[in-house]
Amino acid sequence: MIQQPGYRTEPWAIRERDLDLERLAQGESVFALSNGHIGLRGNLDEGEPNGVPGTYLGGFWDTRRLPYAEAGYGDPEQGQMVVNVTNGKVIRLLVDDSPFDVRYGTLGRHERVLDLRSGTLERDLEWTTPAHSTVAVRSTRLVSLVQRSIAAIRYEVRALDRAVRVVLQSELVANERLAVAADDPRAQSAQQADLLAVDHDHAGLRALLVHRTAGSGLYVAAAMDHELEAPGSELHEVEASGDVARMSVGATLQPGESLVLIKFLAYGWSRKRSGQALTDQVLAALTQARATGWTGLLKEQRDALDAFWEHGDVEIEGDPALQQAVRFGLFHVLQAAARAQQRAIAAKGLTGPGYDGHAFWDTESFVLPLLTYTLPQAAADALRWRHSTLRRAGRRARELGLAGAAFPWRTIHGEECSGYWPAGAAAFHINADIAAAAARYVEASGDERFEREVGLELLVATARLWMALGHFDADGRFRIDGVTGPDEYSAIADNNLYTNLMAKRNLTAAAATVARWRQAADELGVSEDEPGGWLAAARVMRIPFDERLGVHQQTEGFTAHARFDFAAAGPDSYPLMLHFPYFELYRKQVVKQADLVLAMHVCTDEFTPAHKLANFDYYEPLTVRDSSLSACTQAVIAAEVGYLDLAHAYFREAALMDLDDLEHNVRDGLHIASLAGAWIAAVAGFGGMRDDGGQLSFAPALPAAIARLRFRMLYRGSTLEVVVERREVTYALLDGPAIVIHDRGEAVELAAGRPVKRPLEAPVKRGEVPRQPPGREPRHQGRHAAT
C-alpha cells in the first residue's frame, strides 16, 4: 500500500509539510478546488513542475472516436472526454533573473494547507535563488461556492535578507501538453483535445481568451483581472495572443517589503451562445468579483461552508484520522456538486481526467444520498440534468429495440460512451438507480413540484424500459435476462438480484407516482391499465435463491459456478481485470464489488435478518473490492449484521481511499463516490439510517474504536441531529416542523427543543468473522491506524 506521509492528522485541514515531487500528481488531486462549474487541480502556482495539469469546467467536453476491433450493431461510434481548458492558475515568479522553480535553488520550507472551513488552498514557502537571494511566498487560492464563474488567487512575495528585483507573470494558457495516460482503463484516454483559438483581448490589467472545441463545437471563454499592492513604483504590462495572455509586473523590494497580486478569474462555456455573449458574461463576472473584493470573496466562502457544515457535518470521537478523512470527503463532494447546476457530476468530480471525466451510476447511488440529506438542491439539480437527457436516452432505447429510456452507462453530455458492452452498456440497473434517486429525493424533501416536473417522467420512462427488457416466464415469474449488475465480474447474466429488486422498486414507485399525478401522466401517454402491468411484474419479480445453501444468488446459477482460485492468483494480481481475461472472471464465483450486499442495503425490507447474515457470510470471501465503490457498502451491512470492527475497517478504507491512495490512481482524480460512501458508512452503517418504504429509521451501533458519533441531516425541511454514544442515542430536531422517525422499529415523534434519548442496544455477539480473499483484507493499517 502506498502511504502518504506528508499529510498531518488534524480535524479541519489537510496539511502537507514536505513537497514530494514523486507524488506531485496525487497531491494535485487532493488539493483540487472546485464548485461544480470550475475545477482547478492543485498544481503549483508557477505551473511547473506538474504531474497532471488540469483546469476543467462542469459538462464541458469534446469528442473522440471509439476504437473497435470488430464493430457491432448498437456500439456507440463516438466517445466524450473532459477537456483541460485554459489554465488561469499560473503565476510565474522571477527573482533577480532567476525563475522560481522548486527543482532549483534551495527550498527552505514548503507547506500547503487545504482548509476545509475556509474553502481555500494556502501555500507558504521560502526559496533561495542560486545567487543566494531569499524570498518568502504565500499564496491563497479559492474557487467560489457563491459566485459560480469565479476563482481567485492572492499571491504575495516578500524579500527577506536583501533587496531583490522581482517580476510576476500572471497568465492564461490554453493547450497545455498533458502526460500520456497510463495503461489502465480507469485512467484517461491517451487522446487529447485541442482548443481552437477564436478571440483574444486585453485592456488595463485585464485579459481574455476565447476558444472552441473541434469536435463538440463548444465555446469557452476565460478572463483574468488583477489588483496590485506594491511598496512604491512598479511597472506592469499586458499582452494577449491566441493561446496565451500575460500580465507582467515588476518591482524592487527592500528586506521586509512585499509585492501582492490579487488575480480574479472567470470562466464560461456554451454550445448555443456566441463567443461575444460568453465574453460579455465572463467580463461581467469579473466586475462582480472585483466589486466583492478579495476579502469579500473569502467571507462569502466561509459563510457558505459554515452553512453546509451546520447541517452536514459528521463528528467522530476515537479515530482522529477517520474524522479528518470524513470531512475531507464531505468537502470534496460539496465541491463536485454545489454549483454544478444541471451538469453531470463525474466520477472524479472536477479533480482530474480519470475515466475521461464521465459520470456513471456512482452519482445516483452514492453521491446523491449524501446530497439529498445535506444539500438537497444540488441533488435536485443532478436529477434535472438526467431529466434533460431523457430524449437521448429514449433514442438509445429505440436503437436497442426497447421502450422507455435507456440511460447511458458512462457519459458527459447524455449519449452512451461505453465502448465495452458486457461491463458497461449491459448494466441496465443504472436506470433503476436514477429512478430510486428521484424517489428518494421526493420522499426526503417533499418537493411536489419536482415530482410533477421531473420525477414522474423519469419513473415512467424507466418503468417502460423494464417491461420491454424483461418477460413473464413459464412459471409466471417476471425475469430480466442478459444484464450486468454492479459486480462487473459477472457480466451478461440472468436475473441479477440487485437489478431485479431495483426494477421492482422502480415499477412500484412509478405506479404510485402516476396515481398521484394522473393528469400529468395522461400527458405522457400513460394508459389507465399500464401501471397495473407494472405492479403485476413487480409482484412476481424473480429473486434467485439457493435453497441448498440458504443464501440468495447474486445472479441465477451463480452459486453453481466454480470458485475463483484466489490463492493461485496471488496478492499482486489485483485488480484482477488487469491480470486475467474477462472470460475467466465471468464464469467463476468472484465478486468485483458489493452487488447482492448492496441490494441488502438499499432494498433492506426484501431480506430477513437471518438471510442478511447468511448472505454476508457467503459473499464476503468472494469479494475482492477491485472497485472503490465496495468498501462503504460492506461497512453498512457488516455493521447491520453485527461485525462492528469489520465495519469500522471498511469505513476507514472508504474514507481514506484518496488520502492513502489505496487504489494507486489518485493522480487521475479523486474517487468522489467513495468519499460520499464514507458518509454512507457513518450514517447508514453506524447510525443505522434507512429510508426504505417511505419512513426514516435508525438502528445505531458503535464499534470499539469509536466512542461517539454525531451527525446532522435534512429531512422534509427539518434539521435532525443524531448523537450515538456508548449507552444511548439522542435524537433532536434542531429546527423545522415536527417529524416522526423510527428507532429500531418503534415510532419516535420529534419536535424542536425536545430531544429524545433512547438506550443503545448491546451489540449482537457474533462468532468468527468471515475472511476476505487472501490479500484483500480491509486496507486500513499504517499511519492512519486508530489511536
List residues with catalytic annotation.
Answer: 488
How far is residue 200's CA from residue 196's CA, in Å, rounded to a whole number?
12
How far is residue 443's CA from residue 440's CA, in Å, rounded to a whole number?
5
Which is nearest to 629 in space by CA: 353, 266, 362? 362
Which is nearest to 43 in space by CA: 87, 95, 104? 87
Three-state secondary-structure class, residue 495: coil
How far is residue 650's CA from residue 654's CA, in Å, rounded to a whole number?
6
Three-state secondary-structure class, residue 36: coil
Cα distances from 206 to residues 203, 238, 594, 606, in angstroms, run 5, 8, 52, 61
Helix pair 609-619, 630-641: axis angle to 10 deg: 130
How far is residue 543's CA from residue 600's CA, in Å, rounded to a whole number?
13
Which is nearest to 466 in space by CA: 415, 561, 542? 542
Cα distances from 606 to residues 497, 505, 602, in angstroms, run 11, 11, 9
CB atoms within 10 A of CB 735: 12
Work out whether the CA dihedral 468, 473, 478, 481 comes out positive or negative. negative
Three-state secondary-structure class, residue 111: strand
Cell digits for 654?
Answer: 472508504
Listing DSSP states for 217-258 in one string gives: --EEEEEEEEEEE-SS--EEEEEE-SSEEEEEEEEEE-TT-E
- Answer for the pair 172, 204: CB distance below 8 angstroms, yes or no: no
Q: Dihedral (C-alpha) 651, 655, 661, 663: value to the nearest 10 degrees?
A: 50
* DSSP character at residue 309: H
| DSSP element (H, E) containing 92 | strand 91-95
- Answer for the pair 152, 264: CB distance below 8 angstroms, yes or no: yes
How far is residue 66's CA from residue 71's CA, in Å, rounded to a whole number?
10
Q: Dihedral (C-alpha) 649, 650, 652, 656: value to the nearest 10 degrees?
A: 140
Cell digits for 779?
Answer: 486496507
Cα distances from 201 to residues 210, 228, 249, 281, 391, in angstroms, run 9, 20, 18, 14, 39
- Answer for the pair 27, 49: CB distance below 8 angstroms, yes or no: no
Within 13 Å, how many C-alpha atoms sit on residue 194's CB side?
6
